[in-house]
Structure 1
Amino acid sequence: MLIICIVIASLWYLHQKPKAVVEEPTNVQTTVIRSNATKSEYTYSGEVRGRYESQLAFQVSGKIIRRNVEVGSTVNAGDVLMEIDPKDIQQTVNSTLAQVSSAESQVHLAESNLRRYSQLYEEGAVAQMTYEQYRNAYEVALAASQQASAQYAQGSNQLGYSLLYADKSGVISAIKAEIGQIVSNGQTVITIVQDGDREVEISIPENRIKDLQLGQELSVTFWALPNTMVIGKVREIAPMADPATRTYNVRVSLPNPPPEIKLGMTATVALAGSSNVADSIDIPLTSVYQNGDTPSVWVVDGDIVILKPVKLGQMNDKMIQVLDGLQQGERIVANGVHKLRQGQTVKVGDDSL
């Protein structure tokens, strides 16, 4: 009887013992880490210029009395572009010419005296000192004549400088003086763009100058020609920044530009950002789990989740940049991160991205 009671009690105990609870895996939405390899692109506005430009100026001062060209005029080398009033210069030339005549007369007189006293000295009629005085007088007169001739030649050149000639063939791109205006020597009055290559001049800030190198190809578009795009090459990079703007002037040559591209047109040059910048990793904002002061994400390892701290960077409305802590190819939980715990079993659903 006792044995029967023990058996019945054992069966009742086994029947009443609670069964072990089996945890069901939690469905999670995930995303796989992929780096962004896109490069930034910067655009700079510039102006179509000629590769060779001549800044022309008079070599003498005076009042402009004649102008033979307009902006856009085509000129050939040797054409007269402007003229200043030559009257004052002509008076100077006349004065120096008179000085030349006077000096030559003095030379003739000194030469006659020297010849006469040279004969008297040979005959012993005059002392050597007297002869040397007349010889010196002749040399002084000869030097004065040479000086007057040089001044006359200089004045004649000045008279020729009253005409401004085109030094090269090209197109007049700027006129900075008008008839009646008094200009000084060396003051630029006309700019000629010489026939030949065309370029775009742009200004690059100093933090982007490292992205450029000579011979680099850049795409150039034009505001007035929306359907025209030309591949240009960097021909020149200024060695020093402009002291006022703190930018570097860069010249981009345009090989074989279409004829519709005109001087002075506004151009846009596209420049890719530096390629040595590390690839960035962006993740959804909803995948960040804030554990105290340390931001973290849940990384899926097999069928469990592991909390991993990360270093964050810039963010926008939906994404945030990860600077450190994640590797390309890792799978992270994208939503519901505050409902998970360390080592929890999960079931991976569809990617959120």
Structure 2
Amino acid sequence: MRKPSTKKLYYIAAVIIILSAAAGMLWQHAARPQPVVQDAPQVRVAVIEPDSTSKFYSYAGEVRGRYESQLAFQVNGKIIKRNVDLGSPVNPGDVLMVIDPKDLTQAASSSSAQVYSTQSQLRLAASNLERYRQLYEQGAISRAQYDQYVTAYDSAAAAVQQASAQYAQTANQVDYSQLYADAAGVVSAISVEAGQVVSAGQTVVTVVRDGEREVEINVPENRLNELRQATQIKITFWALPDVSVDGSIREIAPMADKISRTYKVRISLLEPPPAMKLGMTASVAVAKSTPDSVSFYIPLTAVFQNGQTPSVWLVADNTVHLQPIKTGSFMDDKIEVSEGLQPGDIIVTAGVHKLREGQKVTVTGEKR
């Protein structure tokens, strides 16, 4: 067998060495850390500007009458007639409901008979007293015997007075079988129907008196002081979108509701619109002057929830950095920021959940 020449062997060895060196260089290049080319996504931003010198808080409310009479019968009984419906206008003296008066009438008749009986006893006692007074003056009877007839007369007179008072009471109860309107107004609630048996003092109908109208709202206890310091109160109505009126605080409940733990507040309307109706839904915007503090309202879409801490992405030199903030009240699609931002800060307002600390971005849609 013919052996390869020495020259050919040298050539093969040289090729192997060159290939090995090239492979080593390629491996070192692959193992060397390569610079990461980061995309610079486009982000929409907004420039932070302080709001006006007032904070606004909105509360949902309902149009109510300033004077609402919750009417009830003064006697027990079964309702036999209901003369009004919800929304019925009433005038003073109108009969709203009637209780069955049979038992009351019988009690009044019994009391009347008792009056006649005691009056007869009084006439007899007066006749006896006059007769025995003459006998006493003639010396025919003793002073002790005469005093007995004086006492009998006094007792009969007291019995007449008692029976008369009882009759007056039962006669009043007959009149109490009819429930009267005490003022002009409109029926806003009816809680019983004909055929029901009601107790004395149980509310059966509510009448809202004609005149001033108010808006009732429920305010949490942590907003009461701000409400008392309100510089402006504006009321709008869901059914009247083009109507806005000023209001003033008339009354704040002294105790919180046991269930909701909020305080009922009555807002008087300075110029109530003619189209406003009882029961309408209202929105009460309360403005409180805050000259010593600066707050901002930012879009809700700008807030990034970092664990339990709300934050925003600040943009500086086309780089984003996470900034914790302290939030406050909501207003439409915005939220109040009381700490963490300064006027002139640029924040990302969209796509906040796709960013990371130190990432380069391209700014678009800047708002001022």
Under a length normalisation based on structure 1, what TM-score does the superposition of the two structures give? Answer: 0.71
Q: Does residue 96 of structure 1 match 2:111?
A: yes
Q: Does residue 260 of structure 1 match 2:275?
A: yes
Identity %: 55
Matches within 5 A, 1:1-353: 36-38=50-52, 39-213=54-228, 217-272=232-287, 275=290, 278-280=293-295, 285-287=314-316, 313-314=325-326
* Structure 2 counterpart of 1:30: none
Number of residue pairs aligned between Structure 1 and Structure 2: 282
Contact 2:234 2:247 (8 Å CA) reproduced: yes
- Partners in 1 of 2:315 and 2:116 — Cα distance? 102
Contact 1:211 1:274 (8 Å CA) reproduced: no
- In the TM superposition, what is the alpha-carbon distance from 1:155 to its structure 2 partner? 0.6
Distance 1:222 1:184, change over 3 A: same
- In the TM superposition, what is the alpha-carbon distance from 1:215 to its structure 2 partner? 8.1
- Partners in 1 of 2:156 and 2:338 — Cα distance? 93
Distance 1:214 1:272, change over 3 A: closer
Distance 1:327 1:43, change over 3 A: closer
- Partners in 2 of 1:43 and 1:322 — Cα distance? 18
- In the TM superposition, what is the alpha-carbon distance from 1:239 to its structure 2 partner? 2.4
Contact 1:214 1:236 (8 Å CA) reproduced: no
Cα deviation, 1:9-37, whole Å, max 9, x if unaligned, reads xxxxxxxxxxxxxxxxxxxxxxxx97624
Secondary structure class of the residue paired with 2:182: coil
Contact 1:80 1:163 (8 Å CA) reproduced: yes
- In the TM superposition, what is the alpha-carbon distance from 1:271 to its structure 2 partner? 2.2
- In the TM superposition, what is the alpha-carbon distance from 1:278 to its structure 2 partner? 2.4
Distance 1:322 1:181, change over 3 A: closer
Secondary structure class of the residue paired with 2:228: coil
Counterpart residue type for residue 168 of structure 1: A
Contact 1:232 1:252 (8 Å CA) reproduced: yes
- Partners in 1 of 2:120 and 2:295 — Cα distance? 92
Secondary structure class of the residue paired with 1:36: coil
- Partners in 2 of 1:287 and 1:81 — Cα distance? 73
Q: Which moved more, 1:274-283 or 1:147-156?
A: 274-283
Contact 2:294 2:338 (8 Å CA) reproduced: no
- In the TM superposition, what is the alpha-carbon distance from 1:224 to its structure 2 partner? 1.7
- Partners in 2 of 1:167 and 1:214 — Cα distance? 37
Q: Which moved more, 1:140-149 or 1:238-247?
A: 238-247
Q: In structure 2, list runs of 5 or more residues that go unmatched.
A: 1-46, 299-311, 328-336, 346-356, 359-365
Distance 1:352 1:233, change over 3 A: closer
- In the TM superposition, what is the alpha-carbon distance from 1:75 to its structure 2 partner? 1.0
- In the TM superposition, what is the alpha-carbon distance from 1:160 to its structure 2 partner? 0.9
- In the TM superposition, what is the alpha-carbon distance from 1:167 to its structure 2 partner? 0.5
- Partners in 1 of 2:338 and 2:66 — Cα distance? 47
Counterpart residue type for residue 150 of structure 1: A
**How large is the Cα RMSD of the aligned pairs?**
3.5
Counterpart residue type for residue 36 of structure 1: P
Under a length normalisation based on structure 2, what TM-score does the superposition of the two structures give? Answer: 0.68
Contact 1:312 1:322 (8 Å CA) reproduced: no
Q: Which moved more, 1:228-237 or 1:195-204?
A: 228-237
- Partners in 1 of 2:128 and 2:149 — Cα distance? 7
* Structure 2 counterpart of 1:19: none
Q: In structure 1, list runs of 5 or more residues that go unmatched.
A: 1-32, 289-294, 297-310, 316-320, 331-336, 339-350
Secondary structure class of the residue paired with 1:56: strand
- Partners in 2 of 1:352 and 1:169 — Cα distance? 57
Contact 1:45 1:268 (8 Å CA) reproduced: yes
Secondary structure class of the residue paired with 1:218: strand
* Structure 2 counterpart of 1:343: none
Cα deviation, 1:110-158, whole Å, max 9, x if unaligned, reads 1111111110011111111111111111111111111101100111111
Distance 1:35 1:145, change over 3 A: same
